[in-house]
């Protein structure tokens, strides 16, 4: 398997095997647009499920219980505050979490006692927390501010590093795409949004850009002298870069996702609701989408944007015309349509390779 | 290609890294021996258990709360918590918030101490004394003030204030009227107050502003009976400390605190000073009470009536104590109340379970990463593993060091950050390895590939790590609570990632490139050039050339049909074409002799040869491929080829 994978990598690198990712960008744009639409729907219905940090309220954690049956917790709370409908969740193997609306100090003490009695544990095993509704808002407000500052910094850094604002723009669009879809899917899963989730969302920012930077670095390398040659178009060179980094993208994504999957698994099935689980889910979705977008969205977008530059547009036209002309010469008729363009294999030129007589210097046809 | 300009000294780099690691752990070990460091990092509250209260200070005036005032508020809370006997409490500011972390299960009284806002007020001093309790003949009043109150309650029930405090006069002459304010109950409380007991130094609300207050100073050196509140702290405009300027306008060597009142305060203060003038010590003093404790009780110099609202407090101040008092007065100038934003009790058992399971998850993740990289990179995977181990050691050491020197505490989001970092750290190695492979594919010998690949990968790694670091720093600076812990570990591991890639992975690769196993591209090394599509003779350095075994193309037309015609990249070299022609011409039995290993591995590698034979039929004419018109390679009979022509699973 590994050998086959390495071989596949070779083929992608040399261009022997090539996926026309940039060429079929309309397909990816459509897929992304559909995904974003779906998440937009998910954000409206069912919508994000705010955790206690955002709603405000009281939280009780009963540890060391032998029976994690949840109804007795609901009954215990309602015996003190009848109008309450507490949310109960299992934490780990022997703990329960009960969340209610905000209770008075007096009620909190009573509920603690009732819960301790219901589960047959001492009151020491029942802890209570109070969380003001402003706490979570504060976190998300700061997260938004962090997002803005981060975007400004990253745009500057990427523009300076790649010396091209269009690349930075493409990376940012891909980043927004990742973020929106992650939040949407998180809403679809229906888990509570806690500060831990917000952490996860914010980390995606870094990861998504990181992934894109690695691909763009190769794109830049491949297209550095794109305009100095007339064999391939800019898009074809960029496409080669995506193909060449495909193995790396897959490897890094798998490697990054493995630990996250481990936390997600342990968090979901063993620990239950909590920090680790929330971070892991947000990261898992975000990283998977981030990999997709760095391959299928960022580079095609970059090409779309770059092709608006007159120099590149002119170059592309020139290359395609020359190719059509050559095809017209060798082919039977002048049926030099674009259909033959995908058959061009784009790869790095290998020293010593015989390019055929057509590649030899020619005398200019005299007029 | 230009050779590396600088001479590489991998061993030296590795030695530096080794010394650095030794220094980190040496410092921590030395810390455990001679200081209070420990080999395990301190755990944050969510892992250790305890109570965390996040307070939002709100100025009564609605104004923004300046940082010094927040620091002063933290001082006040620390004073309360420390003297309430809770050890290892942590009180820190986070942006404009105050985070109080109390280990264990603090009592409701302790929590109240934290939640209560601190107020400053000015009261006249009625009496003061030594901090120890005085044995009085009024001991029959009871052991506690409450008892006193109860005892005194019976005879005089019509009083509006506490019954025992019924004054002997109908109305006070002035706030300094000791006769009115020092009731027997107050006197009894004063007598039995023990200011040497830390429990009595907790501060807190000073109670009814209209009655006398019995209290201590924060150091527990004096106890006071104070009259009713005369001026509120909010009447202070500002306070500052500085060297005294005498009447000639020259600066003396004495530190003083200057205080200015607002217009209302100026008027009140003028009244107070005028009245206190006529009184004798101790009643010519007024006390500044912050948080229920007397922070200063200056007396008035004889004959001084301050009516311009500017007071200078002199005494035996040092530069620091003057600054402290000025800060405290400024704190009073901006009265704060605290809004509890969140109050969480975290049980230690739950935290321990989360940490345990989290670490298990991390370990599983690590093992999976190791397995995957071994599959993908064979022996190179071991370099990944070693690099991850070095990164783990450095990270652990740095966290232990920070935990000791900076009071850093590892929280659950922090642990999550560390686990996530495994994957992100391994990313850089993959970027590097893939680069080396790319260079090998271009036909370079390993030692050159390691260096050139490094030059290119280095840039990518630095760029992407810079992005990660920006994310971490922005998160750290702008976020609160758990977000910070996560951002911190993420940023830390990003830096350590750079360190490890530069000082470990790259030198190790440079060393490995010198070994025969890697340089000659052993199939298990993960850098087998043959598998990377490099065919034919190769220069492997040191004047040696490796010749690939005679190979026969062995793909079926089925496969070649899928391979597009080449414009240039995989065109054959002249030498290759001749070799292929020779191979085709010679007896196909020779192909059988070619190891199944290489045949399979090179199936696709030699694909174009077959592709070319079929190409004209499959694709439109091509401008540059002239080789396409001649059939060069044939499939030798007897060469094992699977139907698909693909090589997956066909080897090893």
B475: left (phi over 0), alpha (psi -120 to 50) or beta: alpha
Q: Is B342 in contact with A53 (Cβ distance < 8 A)?
A: yes
B345: left (phi over 0), alpha (psi -120 to 50) or beta: beta
The CATH number of the domain holding residue A76 is: 3.30.70.600
On whether the CB atoms of residues A212 and A68 are closer than 8 A, the answer is no
Would you state the structure tokens that stand for residue B258, as one six-digit string?
A: 């200057």
In a domain, A163, yes or no: yes
The arithmetic mean of pLDDT across residues A77-91, rounded, is 80
**What's the pLDDT tens digit per position in B113-139?**
777 777 788 888 888 887 777 754 444
Residue numbers in A near B567 (CB within 8 A): 231-232, 344-347
Q: Is B423 in contact with A145 (Cβ distance < 8 A)?
A: no
Chain A within 8 Å of B345 (Cβ-Cβ)?
A: yes
Q: Is B478 in contact with A134 (Cβ distance < 8 A)?
A: no
DSSP-based three-state secondary structure for B213: strand
Q: Is B570 in contact with A16 (Cβ distance < 8 A)?
A: yes
The arithmetic mean of pLDDT across residues A138-154, rounded, is 80
Considering A131, A160, A180, which residue would you say is the last residue of a domain?
Answer: A131
Residue numbers in B near A132 (CB within 8 A): 339-342
Question: Which residue is closest to B523 within chain A, CA to CA?
Answer: A3
The arithmetic mean of pLDDT across residues B177-201, rounded, is 77
Asked if residue A110 and residue A164 are part of one domain, the reply reads no
Give the pLDDT of residue B576: 66
Q: Is A142 in contact with B478 (Cβ distance < 8 A)?
A: yes
Asked if residue A200 and residue A214 are part of one domain, the reply reads yes
Question: Which residue is closest to A127 within chain B, CA to CA?
Answer: B345
The arithmetic mean of pLDDT across residues B277-285, rounded, is 75
In chain B, domain spans = 45-117, 120-135+163-333, 348-531
Which is more confidently placed, B85 or B386?
B386
Would you state the structure tokens that stand for residue B314, as one six-digit string?
A: 């002199």
| All residues at 6 or more sequence positions from A319 whose CB lies less than 8 Å from its CB, including other chains | A230, A231, A232, A233
How many residues comprise chain A? 367
Would you state the structure tokens that stand for residue A274, as one six-digit string?
A: 């909590």
**What's the pLDDT tens digit per position in B589-609?**
444 544 444 444 444 444 444
Would you say residue B495 has pLDDT above 90? yes
CA distance B457 to chain A (A): 9
**What's the pLDDT tens digit per position in B302-335?**
777 777 878 888 877 888 888 888 877 777 777 7
CA distance B592 to chain A (A): 21
| All residues at 6 or more sequence positions from B276 whose CB lies less than 8 Å from its CB, including other chains | B124, B176, B283, B284, B285, B286, B300
Residue numbers in A near B467 (CB within 8 A): 154, 157-158, 206, 209-210, 213
Question: Which residue is closest to B479 within chain A, CA to CA?
Answer: A142
Give the pLDDT of residue A272: 73
- Between CA B76 and CA B343, with CA B108 as vertex, the angle to 5 degrees is 75
Asked if residue A43 and residue A116 are part of one domain, the reply reads no
CA distance B455 to chain A (A): 13
In a domain, A334, yes or no: no
Would you state the structure tokens that stand for residue B323, as one six-digit string?
A: 């600054």
Would you say residue B189 has pLDDT above 60? yes
Give the pLDDT of residue A298: 92
The arithmetic mean of pLDDT across residues B451-468, rounded, is 87
Considering A67, A97, A131, which residue would you say is the last residue of a domain?
Answer: A131
In a domain, A245, yes or no: yes
- Start-to-end CA distance of chain B, whole Å, equals 35
Q: Is B423 in contact with A265 (Cβ distance < 8 A)?
A: no
Residue numbers in A near B416 (CB within 8 A): 196, 199, 263, 275-276, 279-280
Mean residue pLDDT of chain A comes to: 81
The arithmetic mean of pLDDT across residues A358-363, rounded, is 75
- What b/e sequence results for B274-294 when a residue is b if at least 16 CB atoms lie within 10 Å of its CB, and e otherwise? ebbeebeebbbbbbbbbbbbb
Least confident of A132-141, A299-308, B51-60: A132-141
Asked if residue A271 and residue A162 are part of one domain, the reply reads yes
Chain A within 8 Å of B1 (Cβ-Cβ)?
A: no
pTM: 0.67
Q: What is the CATH number of domain B45-117?
A: 3.30.70.3400
Asked if residue A92 and residue A38 are part of one domain, the reply reads no
Q: Is A209 in contact with B467 (Cβ distance < 8 A)?
A: yes
Minimal Cβ distance to B601: which of A3, A11, A343:
A3
**What's the pLDDT tens digit per position in B550-588?**
433 343 333 333 434 444 444 556 776 677 677 767 644
Q: Is A4 in contact with B442 (Cβ distance < 8 A)?
A: no
Residue numbers in B near A92 (CB within 8 A): 350, 353-354, 357
In a domain, A227, yes or no: yes
What is the C-alpha to C-alpha distance for residues B316 and B253, in angstroms, rounded to an integer? 11
Under the banding of pLDDT at 50, 70 and 90, the label for residue B533 is low
Chain A within 8 Å of B413 (Cβ-Cβ)?
A: yes
Asked if residue A311 and residue A291 are part of one domain, the reply reads yes
What is the C-alpha to C-alpha distance for residues B386 and B379, in angstroms, rounded to an integer? 11
CA distance A157 to chain B (A): 8
Beta bridge partners of A61: A97, A127
Give the pLDDT of residue B531: 67
Question: Which residue is closest to A332 within chain B, CA to CA?
Answer: B621
| All residues at 6 or more sequence positions from B339 whose CB lies less than 8 Å from its CB, including other chains | A132, A134, B55, B56, B57, B58
Question: Which residue is closest to B352 within chain A, CA to CA?
Answer: A92
In a domain, A13, yes or no: no
Chain A within 8 Å of B259 (Cβ-Cβ)?
A: no
Phi, psi values for residue A246, rounded to 5°:
-60, -45
Q: Is A354 in contact with B459 (Cβ distance < 8 A)?
A: no
In a domain, A120, yes or no: yes
Q: What is the CATH number of domain B348-531?
A: 1.20.1640.10
| All residues at 6 or more sequence positions from A333 whose CB lies less than 8 Å from its CB, including other chains | none
Minimal Cβ distance to B423: which of A259, A347, A357:
A259
The CATH number of the domain holding residue A202 is: 1.20.1640.10
The conformation of residue B224, written as its DSSP 8-state character, comes to: E
Asked if residue A191 and residue A118 are part of one domain, the reply reads no
On whether the CB atoms of residues B532 and B444 are closer than 8 A, the answer is no
Residue numbers in B near A247 (CB within 8 A): 434
What is the C-alpha to C-alpha distance for residues B489 and B358, in angstroms, rounded to an integer? 15
Give the pLDDT of residue A37: 93
Contacts 24+ apart (CB under 8 A), A148-154: A149/B474, A149/B478, A150/A205, A150/B470, A150/B471, A150/B474, A150/B475, A151/A175, A153/B470, A153/B474, A154/A205, A154/A209, A154/B467, A154/B470, A154/B471
| Alpha-carbon separation of residue B235 from B267, B268, B277, B290, B314 (angstroms) | 10, 9, 21, 14, 21
- What b/e sequence results for B487-515 when a residue is b if at least 16 CB atoms lie within 10 Å of its CB, and e otherwise? bbbbbbbbbbbbbbbbbbbbbbbbebbee
Which has the closest alpha carbon to B562: B619, B601, B600?
A: B619
In a domain, A6, yes or no: no
Chain A within 8 Å of B193 (Cβ-Cβ)?
A: no
* Greatest distance between any 2 Cα atoms in chain A: 104
Asked if residue A30 and residue A61 are part of one domain, the reply reads no
Q: What residue numbers bound the domain in which A74 lies?
A: 57-131
Has the ipTM of the complex gone over 0.85? no
Which is more confidently placed, A8 or A176?
A176
Percent of chain A's residues with pLDDT above 90:
13
Minimal Cβ distance to A10: which of B413, B605, B621:
B605
Residue numbers in B near A150 (CB within 8 A): 470-471, 474-475
Minimal Cβ distance to A7: which of B467, B478, B531:
B531
**Domains in chain A: how many in total?**
2
What is the C-alpha to C-alpha distance for residues A245 and A212, in angstroms, rounded to an integer? 11
Chain A within 8 Å of B617 (Cβ-Cβ)?
A: no
Number of CB pairs, chain A paired with chain B, less than 8 A apart = 382
């Amino acid at each position: 398997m590994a050998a086959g994978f390495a071989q596949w990598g070779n083929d992608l690198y040399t261009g022997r095997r090539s996926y026309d990712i940039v060429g079929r960008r309309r397909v990816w744009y459509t897929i992304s647009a559909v995904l974003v639409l779906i998440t937009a729907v998910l954000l409206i219905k069912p919508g994000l499920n705010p955790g206690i940090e955002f709603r405000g309220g009281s939280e009780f954690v009963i540890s060391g219980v032998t029976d994690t049956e949840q109804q007795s917790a609901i009954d215990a709370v309602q015996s003190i505050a009848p109008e309450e409908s507490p949310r109960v969740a299992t934490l780990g193997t022997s703990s329960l979490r009960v969340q209610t609306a905000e209770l008075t100090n007096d009620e909190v003490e009573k509920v603690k006692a009732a819960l301790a009695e219901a589960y047959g544990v001492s009151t020491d095993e029942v802890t209570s927390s109070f969380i003001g509704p402003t706490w979570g808002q504060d976190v998300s407000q700061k997260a938004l501010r962090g997002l803005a500052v981060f975007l400004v910094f990253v745009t500057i850094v990427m523009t300076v590093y790649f010396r091209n604002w269009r690349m930075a723009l493409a990376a940012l669009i891909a980043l927004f795409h990742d973020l929106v879809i992650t939040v949407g899917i998180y809403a679809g899963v229906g888990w509570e949004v806690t500060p831990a989730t917000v952490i996860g969302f914010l980390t995606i920012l870094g990861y998504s850009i990181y992934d894109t930077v690695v691909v763009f670095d190769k794109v830049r390398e491949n297209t550095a002298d794109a305009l100095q040659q007339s064999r391939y178009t800019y898009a074809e060179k960029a496409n080669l870069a995506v193909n060449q980094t495909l193995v790396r993208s897959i490897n890094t994504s798998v490697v990054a996702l493995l630990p996250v999957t481990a936390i997600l698994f342990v968090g979901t099935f063993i620990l239950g609701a909590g920090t680790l689980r929330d971070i892991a889910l947000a990261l898992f979705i975000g990283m998977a989408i981030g990999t997709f977008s760095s391959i299928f969205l960022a580079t095609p977008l970059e090409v779309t944007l770059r092709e608006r530059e007159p120099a590149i547009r002119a170059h592309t036209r020139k290359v395609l015309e020359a190719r059509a002309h050559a095809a017209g010469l060798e082919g039977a008729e002048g049926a030099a349509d674009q259909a033959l363009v995908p058959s061009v294999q784009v790869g790095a030129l290998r020293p010593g390779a015989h390019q055929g007589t057509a590649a030899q210097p020619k005398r200019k046809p005299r007029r | 290609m230009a050779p590396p300009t600088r001479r590489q000294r991998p061993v030296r780099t590795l030695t530096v890294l080794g010394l650095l690691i030794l220094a980190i752990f040496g410092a921590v070990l030395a810390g455990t021996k001679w200081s209070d460091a420990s080999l395990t990092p301190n755990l944050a509250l969510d892992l250790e258990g305890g109570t965390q209260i996040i307070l939002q200070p709100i100025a009564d005036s609605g104004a923004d709360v300046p940082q010094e005032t927040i620091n002063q508020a933290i001082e006040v809370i620390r004073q309360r918590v420390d003297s309430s006997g809770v050890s290892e409490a942590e009180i820190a500011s986070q942006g404009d918030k105050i985070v109080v972390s109390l280990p264990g299960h603090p009592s409701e009284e302790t929590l109240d101490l934290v939640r209560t806002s601190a107020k400053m007020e000015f009261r006249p001093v009625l009496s003061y004394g030594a901090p120890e309790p005085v044995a009085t003949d009024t001991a029959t009043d009871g052991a506690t003030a409450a008892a006193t109150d109860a005892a005194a309650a019976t005879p005089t029930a019509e009083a509006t204030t506490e019954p025992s405090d019924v004054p002997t006069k109908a109305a006070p002459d002035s706030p300094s009227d000791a006769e009115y304010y020092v009731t027997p109950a107050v006197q009894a409380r004063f007598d039995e107050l023990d200011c040497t007991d830390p429990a009595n130094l907790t501060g807190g609300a000073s109670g009814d502003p209209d009655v006398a207050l019995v209290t201590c100073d924060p150091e527990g050196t004096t106890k006071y009976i104070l009259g009713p509140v005369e001026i509120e702290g909010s009447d202070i405009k500002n306070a500052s400390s500085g060297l005294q300027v005498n009447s000639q306008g020259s600066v003396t060597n004495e530190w003083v605190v200057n205080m200015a009142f607002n217009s209302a305060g100026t008027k009140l203060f003028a009244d107070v000073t005028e009245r206190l003038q006529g009184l004798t010590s101790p009643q010519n003093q007024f006390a500044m009470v912050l948080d229920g404790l007397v922070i200063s009780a200056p007396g008035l110099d004889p004959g001084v009536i301050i009516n311009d609202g500017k007071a200078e407090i002199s005494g035996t101040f040092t530069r620091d104590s003057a600054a402290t008092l000025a800060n405290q007065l400024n704190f009073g100038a901006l009265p704060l109340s605290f809004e509890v934003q969140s109050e969480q009790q975290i049980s230690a058992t739950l935290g321990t379970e989360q940490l345990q399971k989290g670490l298990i998850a991390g370990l599983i993740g690590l093992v999976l990463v190791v397995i995957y990289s071994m599959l993908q990179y064979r022996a190179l995977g071991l370099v990944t593993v070693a690099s991850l181990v070095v990164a783990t050691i450095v990270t652990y050491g740095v966290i232990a060091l920070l935990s000791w020197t900076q009071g850093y505490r590892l929280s659950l989001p922090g642990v999550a950050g560390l686990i996530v970092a495994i994957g992100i750290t391994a990313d850089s190695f993959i970027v590097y390895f893939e680069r080396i492979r790319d260079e090998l594919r271009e036909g370079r010998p390993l030692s050159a590939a390691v260096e050139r690949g490094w030059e290119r990968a280095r840039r990518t790694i630095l760029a992407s790590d810079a992005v990660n670091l920006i994310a971490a720093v922005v998160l750290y600076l702008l976020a609160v609570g758990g977000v910070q812990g996560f951002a911190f570990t993420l940023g830390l591991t990003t830096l350590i990632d750079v360190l490890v890639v530069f000082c470990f992975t790259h030198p190790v690769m440079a060393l490995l490139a010198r070994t025969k196993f890697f340089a000659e591209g052993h199939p298990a090394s993960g850098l087998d050039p043959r598998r990377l599509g490099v065919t034919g003779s190769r220069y492997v350095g040191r004047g040696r050339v490796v010749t690939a075994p005679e190979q026969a193309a062995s793909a079926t037309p089925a496969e070649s049909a899928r391979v597009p015609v080449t414009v240039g990249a995989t065109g054959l070299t002249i030498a290759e074409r001749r070799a292929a022609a020779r191979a085709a011409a010679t007896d196909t039995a020779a192909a059988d002799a070619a190891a199944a290993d290489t045949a399979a591995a090179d199936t696709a590698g030699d694909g174009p040869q077959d592709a070319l034979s079929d190409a004209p039929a499959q694709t439109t004419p091509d401008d540059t491929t002239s080789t396409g018109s001649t059939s060069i390679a044939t499939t030798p009979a007897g060469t094992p080829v699977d139907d698909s022509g693909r090589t997956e699973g066909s080897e090893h």
